[in-house]
Amino acid sequence: MPTTEATAPANETIQDLVIGNKILYRQKVVDAFGHLSVRHDKDPARYLMSRYVPPSFVTADDIVTFDLDSNPLDKTGLRYYSERFIHGEIYKLRADVKAIVHCHAPQLIPFAATKVPLRPLYHMSAFLGCRGCGVPVFDIREAAGMTDMLIRTPELGKALAASLEDKPMVLMRGHGATIVGGSVKQVVYRSIYAVENAALQMDAVRLGEPVYLADEEAVKAAESADKVVERPWALWRCEAVGDGDAAQK
Amino acid sequence: MPTTEATAPANETIQDLVIGNKILYRQKVVDAFGHLSVRHDKDPARYLMSRYVPPSFVTADDIVTFDLDSNPLDKTGLRYYSERFIHGEIYKLRADVKAIVHCHAPQLIPFAATKVPLRPLYHMSAFLGCRGCGVPVFDIREAAGMTDMLIRTPELGKALAASLEDKPMVLMRGHGATIVGGSVKQVVYRSIYAVENAALQMDAVRLGEPVYLADEEAVKAAESADKVVERPWALWRCEAVGDGDAAQK
Amino acid sequence: MPTTEATAPANETIQDLVIGNKILYRQKVVDAFGHLSVRHDKDPARYLMSRYVPPSFVTADDIVTFDLDSNPLDKTGLRYYSERFIHGEIYKLRADVKAIVHCHAPQLIPFAATKVPLRPLYHMSAFLGCRGCGVPVFDIREAAGMTDMLIRTPELGKALAASLEDKPMVLMRGHGATIVGGSVKQVVYRSIYAVENAALQMDAVRLGEPVYLADEEAVKAAESADKVVERPWALWRCEAVGDGDAAQK
Amino acid sequence: MPTTEATAPANETIQDLVIGNKILYRQKVVDAFGHLSVRHDKDPARYLMSRYVPPSFVTADDIVTFDLDSNPLDKTGLRYYSERFIHGEIYKLRADVKAIVHCHAPQLIPFAATKVPLRPLYHMSAFLGCRGCGVPVFDIREAAGMTDMLIRTPELGKALAASLEDKPMVLMRGHGATIVGGSVKQVVYRSIYAVENAALQMDAVRLGEPVYLADEEAVKAAESADKVVERPWALWRCEAVGDGDAAQK
């Protein structure tokens, strides 16, 4: 089914998706691997994500429309990310989710492989403490036994989505993490500060028993952070694409 | 009240403030968040700070004059940093303070969240040991219970200022740090080397029991450091704004 | 013996070798030291490697053809890497090996000097777990007593090659590591993610007892990784030589 | 006494000194502080060092000739490094020393403040193990009680020089380190790999009991390293001053 005027996403949706990819690369959340998607702004039963290219290479021409079973609805016959089911299955289960990041950021891997829960050490990453006690860890072994660790099927996507529950992030043992948000800007913010928190939490744990944000502090700080995502976005956009307009925002 | 010729700050004050913002960003003391202020050079009852933009974006046009209650006296009707009370309340309590940095540098967070006191491990950061034993930690919970961690009110600003006592720096649990100085150049120097000391102190603590500067050594080394702030400033200025003149200073 | 049309390597072989050198430098796997070689695509009894220059300086003109005893067959009379026997002796023993990296990446040295085995913590470096339990460590002292640590002779090359057995990598105590692969692109991929794994494994070990990939997971994930080496290569090539074509691949 | 044709240093001496300063900055051995000197190539009773500027700013015009009491013999009346006595007093005591680096590299400070001796973990930094067991630590407190930590007098310079004995490097508690060599290129090589070794030794110590180079291995590896200093110098020079000739060396 071709995309018509009526079903074409807003230019801003595409622009945020393209710039978000370049920001995630510039901020080292992704390298040649990892992906960012956004739910279609006119049709909640679709999502938009790049074809199979490194995030830093993504242009508007690379953006493909997928249904929630992760079938391409346009630009068919190309190579796509084999783990796109992460995105489709989460969009099915979580109506509140409008954008998703999947990454292998090295700072996150140790928290996916040990018993130390990733928890918010400062207000910038308060969302990590929202809705309870730290970030859940998905172990693909429990869902499917011995695999190549990748979310290659709808079933694995469903299992990952279920482990996420109502939280903003899930760690994936031996693999990486998936972060969700209400917009591209929010999920990019969350991804960058989740990685930052992981790095400084490792330092704090080694120094001594750290004091984390209390749940109530985390909820309040996360609400405040949601009101300021435009400010770091303007800087990250400027750093990633040298955008003068952004610099003056 | 409009700013008149008589009450306009010196050009050098504005220039140091703008360049200081860019240096703090280039040296990774601040990211999209954090702020630098300077007390008005002609009126100690006022201070100068940028409107609400990332520090690296700050230009002379963004500088706003505030009274010590942190009300804008010019460029009214803009968005300002919500935590500007950090600055106003410290300027009220500490006549010796001419410039203030607030930041979330990741190297500092672990020392704000654990029982390990930040102490000077070498002469570059000797000021950390001045006037007693290590850097105090402000816990907003003791002042106001469950909050979003931010210094959003004059009352919270007063509580933070009180915890600073007569020291050059205070750590803020779950948040960051505030550093004060007798000039923009001194507070920028202190901020950069406080972050550096935090990084190497973490290494030293993990290696074994480190020997810190003795109080007397710290006082003497800090006095010496105050005489050489122009030298790193020239380099940092050159790195931040590629200023050829600075390079020849 | 001069190289004739018949025995000249394919242009792509030379191009991959030159770009691989620049990628290894850009990704900090090598500094001024370390080297990359490739087995001759037309004659398995020869290999190609740069003359004695830092990897980032390598151009097509610097590529020398060696026999498996590591004697130069062209561009004779130049200075060559003193440790070229690492390459020749491994190519003799391992018909499956088509490309070899030798490096001193700092993240790898601690695993060559302690009892902690380098093991795959995530799918990107799954090959580390292939064919058994972690990466072997070669101690030159056992092979030759007190040396300057370098593989300066065919005998030392043979000893190193033997310690590699059928594995993709061997650590060298007090020295560095040698990584092998079925192509330049695969060995560059393996080198970069071996270094990445070392860095995050150090973090994970310090946090607590990490869960590594199971052998079966490692084998499957390594097979999958071998199918996607072109994607990071395109990015790394673009980062290393700013190649627009690569950027569009 | 003015410098005459007869007593003017060779152009190469000045060029190495200027480029060495820029390399030490580019490689993060020095920041705005730290200095590099070279013994005069025609008069062993003199040494050459920049006037008081950050190392990265140094040009040929900034180079001052000093006698071994660290009095300027030309370009008098300028500001000089207050710690120049480090250089003069070591040149007096150590006829074998032709070049000296003083720095505050953060990776070195923890080894100057703890009981863990800095020792060579790989062949690149083998010189750290030369002539015995690890790098000595100078504690200014034992020489002069409570100070500002700086080597401000000939007496303090003599005490530091004595603590160096016949070794290539001495750590300075609460301050930094001083490295010596037989040429600018050798001392720059030693400084860069001393810092590198400190970083990876910290990792190795935290992983488990590391195996260091045996004394005999260290002596042999250091001799070998001395034969290859031109290779990294060519790369570092290219990185520091973008010198195309160096790139082709």
Express each pLDDT in B88-113 by its tens digit.
999 999 999 999 999 999 999 999 99
- Residue in D33, D146, D175 nearest the CB of B216: D146
Nearest CA among D190, D192, D172 for reference residue D182: D190
Give pLDDT, residue A236: 98
Average pLDDT over chain C, rounded to an integer: 94
Residue of B nearest to D114 (CA): B210
- Selected catalytic residue, list B83, B142, B165, B239: B83
- Give the pair of three-digit tokens for residue B127: 């000021």
| D124 in reach of chain C (CB within 8 A) | yes
Contacts B122 to D, Cβ<8 Å:
104, 109, 112-113, 149, 174-176
Model pLDDT for residues A180-200, shown as the tens digit of each residue: 999 999 999 999 999 999 999
Give percent above pLDDT 90 in chain B. 92
Tell me if D114 and B210 make a contact (CB, 8 A cut-off). Answer: yes
| ipTM of the complex in this document | 0.95
Give pLDDT, residue A2: 53
Contacts C232 to A, Cβ<8 Å:
31-33, 54
List active site positions of C: 83
Chain C nearest-CA distance from D94, in A, is 26
Chain A nearest-CA distance from C204, in A, is 4
Tell me if A124 and B104 make a contact (CB, 8 A cut-off). Answer: yes
pLDDT surpassing 70 at residue B37: yes
Size of interface A-B (CB pairs under 8 A): 104
Cα→Cα distances B24→B58, B234, D105, Å? 11, 13, 20
pLDDT surpassing 60 at residue B245: no
Q: How confident is residue A159, by pLDDT bands cut at 50, 70 and 90?
A: very high
Q: Is C59 left (phi over 0), alpha (psi -120 to 50) or beta?
A: beta
Give pLDDT, residue D5: 59
Residue of D nearest to B229 (CA): D32
Q: What is the pLDDT along chain D (249 residues), one digit of tens a residue?
A: 455 656 899 999 999 999 999 999 999 999 999 999 999 999 999 999 999 999 999 999 999 999 999 999 999 999 999 999 999 999 999 999 999 999 999 999 999 999 999 999 999 999 999 666 679 999 999 999 999 999 999 999 999 999 999 999 999 999 999 999 999 999 999 999 999 999 999 999 999 999 999 999 999 999 999 999 999 999 999 999 986 554 443
Contacts D105 to B, Cβ<8 Å:
none
Nearest CA among A115, A116, A140 for reference residue A197: A116
Sequence-separated (6 or more) residues with CB below 8 Å from residue C226: C182, C186
| D132 in reach of chain B (CB within 8 A) | no
Give pLDDT, residue A6: 64
Tell me if C56 and D235 make a contact (CB, 8 A cut-off). Answer: yes
Q: How far apart are the first and last CA of chain C?
A: 39
Give pLDDT, residue A131: 61
Residue of A nearest to C189 (CA): A32
- Residue in C121, C217, C247 nearest the CB of A113: C121
pLDDT surpassing 70 at residue A65: yes
Give pLDDT, residue B201: 97
Is residue D185 within a helix (H) or strand (E), and if so which, with residue range? helix D184-207
Q: Indicate which of D109, D115, D140, D152 best probes the interface with B, i.e. most B CBs within 10 Å of its own CB.
A: D109
Tell me if D232 and C174 make a contact (CB, 8 A cut-off). Answer: no
Give pLDDT, residue C80: 98
Model pLDDT for residues A93-144, shown as the tens digit of each residue: 999 999 999 999 999 999 999 999 999 999 999 999 966 667 999 999 999 9
| A180 in reach of chain B (CB within 8 A) | no
Cα→Cα distances B243→B15, B50, D51, Å? 13, 22, 20
- Residue in D54, D148, D202 nearest the CB of B207: D202
| A209 included as an active-site residue | no
DSSP code string of D82-136: TTTHHHHHHHHH-TT--EEEEE--TTTHHHHHSS------SGGGGGGGTTSSS--
Of chain C residues 40-69, which have a CB less than 8 A from chain D? 52-54, 56-57
Give pLDDT, residue D7: 80
Model pLDDT for residues C34-67, shown as the tens digit of each residue: 999 999 999 999 999 999 999 999 999 999 999 9
| C126 in reach of chain A (CB within 8 A) | yes
- Residue in C57, C104, C205 nearest the CB of D122: C104
| C116 in reach of chain D (CB within 8 A) | yes
Does residue D157 contact residue B229 with C-beta atoms inside 8 Å?
A: no
Give pLDDT, residue A7: 80
Model pLDDT for residues A12-40, shown as the tens digit of each residue: 999 999 999 999 999 999 999 999 999 99
- Residue in A123, A214, A220 nearest the CB of B175: A123
- Pairing mode, if any, of strands D63-67 and D46-50? antiparallel
Distance CA A65, CA A63 (A): 7
pLDDT surpassing 50 at residue B33: yes
**SS3 call for C89:** helix
Q: How far apart are the first and last CA of chain A?
A: 39
Give pLDDT, residue C247: 43
Average pLDDT over residues B236-244: 87
- Give the pair of three-digit tokens for residue D235: 């790369």
Nearest CA among D134, D136, D157, D2 for reference residue D64: D2
Give pLDDT, residue A184: 98
- Pairing mode, if any, of strands D35-39 and C169-172? unpaired
pLDDT surpassing 80 at residue A245: no
Chain C nearest-CA distance from D162, in A, is 30
Does residue A18 contact residue A59 with C-beta atoms inside 8 Å?
A: yes
Average pLDDT over residues B77-81: 97
Nearest CA among C67, C56, C57 for reference residue C25: C56
Give pLDDT, residue B131: 61
Q: How confident is residue B57, by pLDDT bands cut at 50, 70 and 90?
A: very high
Model pLDDT for residues C96-147, shown as the tens digit of each residue: 999 999 999 999 999 999 999 999 999 999 999 966 667 999 999 999 999 9
Give percent above pLDDT 70 in chain C. 93
Distance CA C169, CA C193 (A): 12
Please work out, in degrees rounded to the nearest 5, the angle formed at the alpha carbon of residue C169 by the alpha carbons of C81 and A112.
130
Q: How far apart are the first and last CA of chain B?
A: 39
Q: How confident is residue A5, by pLDDT bands cut at 50, 70 and 90?
A: low
